[in-house]
Structure 1
Amino acid sequence: MVKWKGLNKMKSDLQKLSKQSDKKLDDAVQDIRIMLQGEVSDAAVFDKGYSTGNLRRLINSSKTGQARGILSSPAHYSGYVEKGTRFMDAQPFFFNTISKQSETIMQILEEKTR
C-alpha cells in the first residue's frame, strides 16, 4: 500500500491557485469589456444620413458570469448601419472596432493573468 504525504496540502494549493487564476481572468474580461464599450461608442459617429446619437447611447456591456460578458448595440437598426442595405452604404462601427483592438485584448489578457 502506498501512502502519499502532503496530498491534501497539494490539493488545497491547487484549488487556491485555480480560484486566483479565475479571479484574474474575470478581472481581465471586465477590463476588456469596459475598454471595448468605450471604443465602440467612440466609433459610432456617423456622417451619412440622419443621426441622433441614439445608437451610440444604447451601446452597453454587462457581466454575464465568471469571465463572461456581453457587449451589445440593442438599437433595432444597428445591423442595418453596420452592414448597410441596398439603399445605404455600410458604416461599420461594431465588429471592425473590436477586430482592430484584438492586439490590445491579447495584451490585457497576458498582463492580467500572469
Structure 2
Amino acid sequence: MDISFEGLEELRNGLLKEATMTKKKAVVRKHTGRLKKSAIKHAVFTGGRTGKYSKGATRRSIEAEYQPTQGKVKATTHYSGYLEEGTRFMSAQPFMKPAMEEIIPEFLTDLAKSEL
C-alpha cells in the first residue's frame, strides 16, 4: 500500500505565513505600547501658558490605537502639533519625533526577527 499526499508544500507555506503574521502583529502591538510610553515620557514642556494648558493635558491626551498590523500613537490636544513643530511665537518642543527615534531601531530588529 502506497500513500501519497499532495499539497504539503502549500500547506507548510501557508502555516509559516500565518505564524509569521501572528509574530508581526505581536511586534506591532508591543512597540506601539512602547511608543506611547516614550511619547508620554518626552512630553515635558517649558515656558508657555499658565492655566489649564500647563497642567499636562497633552501628556494625558496621548493614546494608542491598535489594528491587526498597524499601531497608531497620537496626542489629541488641539495644540499638540504646535508643541511638536513650534510656531513663529514659540520654539518647537518635540515629543513624538524623539519617541519615534528611540523606538524604531528595536522595532525594526524585532520585525526582522519575526520573519524567521
Q: Which moved more, 1:76-85 or 1:104-113?
A: 104-113
Match of 1:108 among 90, 104, 110: 110
Q: Which moved more, 1:95-104 or 1:42-51?
A: 95-104
Q: Which 4+ runs in 1 deviate beyond 4 A?
A: none
Preserved CA contact (<8 Å) 1:28 1:113: no
Partner of 1:41: 40
2:64 corresponds to 1:61:
yes
Partner of 1:79: 81
Give the whole-Å Cα distance in 2 for the aligned partners of 1:48 and 1:112.
43
Spell out the pairing of 1:25-40 with structure 2 (5 A cutoff): 25-40=24-39
Give the whole-Å Cα distance in 1 for the aligned partners of 2:102 and 2:74.
17
Preserved CA contact (<8 Å) 1:58 1:73: yes
How high is the sequence identity, in percent, across the aligned residues? 28
Preserved CA contact (<8 Å) 1:46 1:91: yes
TM-score (normalised: structure 1): 0.85
Q: Secondary structure at the match of 1:60?
A: strand
Unaligned runs of 5+ in 1: none
Instruction: Name the aligned partner's letter for residue 86 of structure 1.
Output: R
Unaligned runs of 5+ in 2: none
Q: RMSD in angstroms over aligned alpha carbons?
A: 1.6
Q: How many residues align?
A: 109
Encode CA deviations 1:56-84: one digit per residue, 9 max, x unaligned: 001011112x2111111111101111111
